[in-house]
Structure 1
Amino acid sequence: MTPRPEASAVVPPADWRTPVSSEGDIDAAWWARFGDPQLSALVEQARANNNDLAIAAARVAEARAQIRVARSLLLPTLSASVPVSEARSVNAFGQPSESTSAQPLFQAAYEVDLFGGNAARRDAARDNAAAVAAAHESAMLSVSAATASSYIALLALDQRRELLKETLVSRGEALRIARDRAEAGYTSQLELQQSEAEYRATEQQIPAIEAAITRQENALSLLVGDAPHAIARGAAFAGLTTPLVPAVMPSELLRRRPDIAQAEYALAASDANLRAARAQFLPQIRLSASGGAAISSLLGDPISIWSIGGSILAPIFQGGRLQGQFDAATAQRDQAAFAYRKTVLTAFREVDDQLALIDRLGAQEQALLAQRAAVAEVLRHATNRYRAGYSPYLEQIDAQRALLAVDLALIQLRTDRLTASVALYQALGGGAA
């Protein structure tokens, strides 16, 4: 058999590009690490009821049935037949006669797998079934991660809506004060209109957030296998726990990721198909036997009948068909080898991407918290200056806008950190060991 391309070999790196400082572990129910029972319940429901997973499970059943089909090639075939006939004829003297006859027959046939072609087909079916089962595990991991991320995004939308509602209350109070001051003649209509514009600008964002919440609930309903409905919440967004980064080495990834296992089994199946294609060049030996009896009303006693035979079929000229099949199987094996290499390298990249993102998001959060403290202080001074009559209302509006933008950015940042943790668990293969 032709060897695999040397360029398809993969050597895992000694360590991740982004250093892992924590020593967190990972278990099968990794979604429980976020500290929300409702998140865990939704993930379990999705794993049980998701339609894509049901389709993947049916594919596993189909592939396992194909193993039994391929395994049958290594066993003899047995069959029985009992043809019965009734006839009326005329003899040489013009006299009619009727007869009833039967010929029960038992037949057996067996192909001697002298050169391993049928065994290779069985191995290919077995490896393909293992690849399909690994694909089911990969789909299970993807659905679990998508459900967890979708629920986190839903809680983040809830948090944005609450922030906007709180902001709207403060904007409403500012509008009330501006209206009272304008009616009393302390301020111009300009400040009143600025205050109302700011109030309306905040007010119009709430329906958009509520529509996004509905869409997110509908998407989550589909993931768990239900019609669109409201999703119950567990912990608040602020109550979600950010898990520690699991300490997993690059070499461990090769046995953790189901998509890598899928690519590995697919490569093994292509190797088996290549062996089967090579066996087509060699002779095939078939043995057959049959036995039975001839029974007729014209005979006094049944007559036993039997036959034993064998055949050797060797290809001599096929017009290049066998060589073409072998070359195609070789190319398919090479494709599977490079697909395996790509899958492994992609897995390394995905883990490093999430490690770098989590690390940099931590630094970004520190800077954003410092910015919020500074913006909050600016708002305090602007408010005091406005109330004392030292500055126009526009300074306070700018400070309020800046603080709202920073608070929304903090919610988004925390959402990114939590979903990056989910993506890291997925990149590491979930709870596989």
Structure 2
Amino acid sequence: MLALSGCVSAGPRAPVPEEAHVAAPAGWRTPLAASGDIAPDWWRAFGDPVLADLVARALANNVDIALAATRVEEARAAEALARAQLSPQIGGTLPETQGQTLSPFGTPSQAVGFQPALTASYDLDLFGRLRQASRAARAQLLASEGAHDTVRLATIASTASGYVTLRALDQRLAIARDTLAARAEALRIARRRFEAGYSSRLEYRQAQAEYAATAQLVPAAELAIARQENALALLTGDPPRAIPRGLPLDRLAAPAIPDGLPADLLRRRPDLFQAEQALVAADRTLDSQRAAFLPNLSLTGSAGLVLSTALADPVGVFSLGASVLAPIFDGGRLRAQADAATARRDGAAFAYRRAALVAFREVDDALAGVRRTGEQAQDLTQQAEAARGALANATSRYRAGYSSYLEQLDAQRSLLTAELSLVQAEADRLTSHVALYQAMGGGWRRP
């Protein structure tokens, strides 16, 4: 069971709210077959080397990934700083003094002295204030790494789905151009029939209107292609440019779906790992704030030499001491800080619950999308084939004079709608596979 109580150690006086606990759906406890594991480079399963090159370029040059990497380095430095607080602090001084001395005969003389010394201090951390702060910084580092992997996985998924969308737009443009060529032929025939007196001006005007309606699909598709290419160029860290093409949409292979979805599979998601580590960091920070109520014991010491022109030999000096600092009255400052830390910990717990619920929903949505879009594509394939046959029959009947032009026009519109819908359904089916792999962690492995 995926529950918060098994992820963090809550303090004895402020347990995690029960409403923040979340468990995986019981229906997802099917064992995962060994052959159904997710490959780290799952996007190669589409079988398009151009797509693989685009993803590799995005992973190397994407600005969002680079920005997330800088946050990881910042968290690593903060963790090193918190860890350094557990070590003794050693420093050195070299003060210079000048003054006058009196000889036995009362003659004054100028004296110059130096007192080099080493100083050391060490916080015993009896109640774990610094240790908990160091553990909180460590959890924050892991959370930042999870955020980096989340951005990385989102970039891969956006690149793959963007490429599928681009190939779908290419196919829509090809359909529009083929349909426009057919409309041009129909317009030519309608003009000849009108000029010969075999048909009315109405049929000729209808053919003109249908040709213009189809012609506007071409620039609309070209505009969408240009925008999609620019979006992919942004993902790959490039200025607007033309994107190379690989396999057409109908030749892209859909990656295999794993045989089962066990309850712990979603724990591989980097965003869940990030939310979990953020909760751990908030819990450790709360422990550190509670330790601030207790006394703090520090050891300090120094050792050095006194060097002076007034002394024949140097004089050694040293000191060793301890100090106890305990809060007596601070106007409620420490209590307010502890209450704020408790609220942040509870907020992190609910954020983790929400991340888990969103993960369950995304996997279920993606599975439903893969299944239903596949069924829709099959039905639309049959519809397109039937519409293609109906158009052939309507065209033959119109040319033979057995039916009006409206019958052929209606068949042309039905075929165009079915072909465009089929392209969209194929693109939705492939992007549903991308969404499924992203929802299931996409081959990411917890460190």
TM-score range with shorter-chain normalisation?
A: over 0.9
In the alignment, which of 50, 63, 83 is matched to residue 75 of structure 2? Answer: 63
Q: 2:377 is matched with which residue?
A: 365
Unaligned runs of 5+ in 2: 1-10
State the alpha-carbon separation in 2 of the partners of residues 257 and 184 from structure 1: 70
Q: 1:328 is matched with which residue?
A: 340
State the alpha-carbon separation in 2 of the partners of residues 131 and 424 from structure 1: 23
CA apart distance, 1:175: 1.5
CA apart distance, 1:313: 0.9
Q: CA RMSD in A?
A: 2.2
Post-superposition CA distance 1:34-81 (Å, at most 9, x none): 111111110111111100000101111111111110011111000011
Q: 1:349 is matched with which residue?
A: 361
In the alignment, which of 158, 164, 175 is matched to residue 152 of structure 1? Answer: 164
The one-letter code matched in structure 2 to 1:158 is D
State the alpha-carbon separation in 2 of the partners of residues 187 and 341 from structure 1: 70
* Residue 416 (structure 2) pairs with residue 391 (structure 1): no
In the alignment, which of 177, 188, 210 is matched to residue 198 of structure 1? Answer: 210
Contact 1:221 1:228 in 2 (8 A): yes
* Residue 170 (structure 2) pairs with residue 167 (structure 1): no
CA separation of 1:63 and 1:248: change in aligned 2, threshold 3 A = farther
SS for the counterpart of 1:182 is helix
State the alpha-carbon separation in 1 of the partners of residues 390 and 102 from structure 2: 120
SS for the counterpart of 1:15 is helix
Bigger mean CA offset, 311-320 vs 360-369? 360-369
SS for the counterpart of 1:251 is coil
The one-letter code matched in structure 2 to 1:264 is E
Contact 2:275 2:352 in 1 (8 A): yes
Contact 1:10 1:344 in 2 (8 A): yes
Q: 1:130 is matched with which residue?
A: 142
Contact 1:250 1:348 in 2 (8 A): no
State the alpha-carbon separation in 2 of the partners of residues 96 and 275 from structure 1: 62
Bigger mean CA offset, 373-382 vs 137-146? 373-382
Contact 1:100 1:296 in 2 (8 A): yes
Q: 1:28 is matched with which residue?
A: 40
In the alignment, which of 229, 239, 245 is matched to residue 233 of structure 1? Answer: 245
Q: 2:66 is matched with which residue?
A: 54
Q: 1:381 is matched with which residue?
A: 393
CA apart distance, 1:366: 2.6
Contact 2:155 2:235 in 1 (8 A): yes
* Residue 42 (structure 2) pairs with residue 41 (structure 1): no
CA separation of 1:408 and 1:89: change in aligned 2, threshold 3 A = farther
* Residue 269 (structure 2) pairs with residue 257 (structure 1): yes
* Residue 431 (structure 2) pairs with residue 419 (structure 1): yes
The one-letter code matched in structure 2 to 1:270 is A
State the alpha-carbon separation in 1 of the partners of residues 268 and 286 from structure 2: 28
* Residue 115 (structure 2) pairs with residue 103 (structure 1): yes
State the TM-score, normalizing by the size of structure 1: 0.94
CA apart distance, 1:295: 1.7
CA apart distance, 1:288: 0.4
Contact 2:266 2:441 in 1 (8 A): no
Q: 1:403 is matched with which residue?
A: 415
CA apart distance, 1:98: 3.5
Contact 1:107 1:288 in 2 (8 A): yes
The one-letter code matched in structure 2 to 1:102 is F
The one-letter code matched in structure 1 to 2:274 is Q
The one-letter code matched in structure 2 to 1:355 is L
5 Å-filtered alignment, 1:281-296, equals: 281-296=293-308
Contact 2:39 2:443 in 1 (8 A): yes
CA separation of 1:248 and 1:57: change in aligned 2, threshold 3 A = farther
5 Å-filtered alignment, 1:69-84, equals: 69-84=81-96
Contact 1:82 1:102 in 2 (8 A): yes
CA apart distance, 1:120: 0.2
Bigger mean CA offset, 252-261 vs 79-88? 79-88
State the alpha-carbon separation in 2 of the partners of residues 357 and 227 from structure 1: 33
State the alpha-carbon separation in 2 of the partners of residues 369 and 155 from structure 1: 18
SS for the counterpart of 1:99 is strand
CA separation of 1:25 and 1:300: change in aligned 2, threshold 3 A = closer
The one-letter code matched in structure 2 to 1:50 is N
State the alpha-carbon separation in 1 of the partners of residues 376 and 312 from structure 2: 102
CA apart distance, 1:362: 2.1
Instruction: Calculate percent identity across the aligned residue pairs.
Output: 52
Q: 2:23 is matched with which residue?
A: 11
Contact 1:13 1:250 in 2 (8 A): no
Q: 1:318 is matched with which residue?
A: 330
Contact 2:98 2:110 in 1 (8 A): yes
In the alignment, which of 287, 295, 318 is matched to residue 306 of structure 1? Answer: 318
The one-letter code matched in structure 1 to 2:51 is L
Post-superposition CA distance 1:158-217 (Å, at most 9, x none): 000011111111111111222222222222232222212211211111111111111111
Task: Find runs of 4+ consecutive structure 1 residues off by over 4 angstroms.
Answer: 85-91, 93-97
State the alpha-carbon separation in 1 of the partners of residues 292 and 38 from structure 2: 48
State the alpha-carbon separation in 1 of the partners of residues 321 and 98 from structure 2: 31
CA apart distance, 1:87: 5.9
State the alpha-carbon separation in 2 of the partners of residues 325 and 250 from structure 1: 41
SS for the counterpart of 1:289 is strand
State the TM-score, normalizing by the size of structure 2: 0.91
In the alignment, which of 179, 201, 214 is matched to residue 189 of structure 1? Answer: 201
Contact 1:78 1:107 in 2 (8 A): yes
State the alpha-carbon separation in 1 of the partners of residues 146 and 158 from structure 2: 18
Q: 2:6 is matched with which residue?
A: none
Aligned residues: 430
State the alpha-carbon separation in 2 of the partners of residues 85 and 31 from structure 1: 73
CA apart distance, 1:97: 4.7
Unaligned runs of 5+ in 1: none
* Residue 267 (structure 2) pairs with residue 247 (structure 1): no
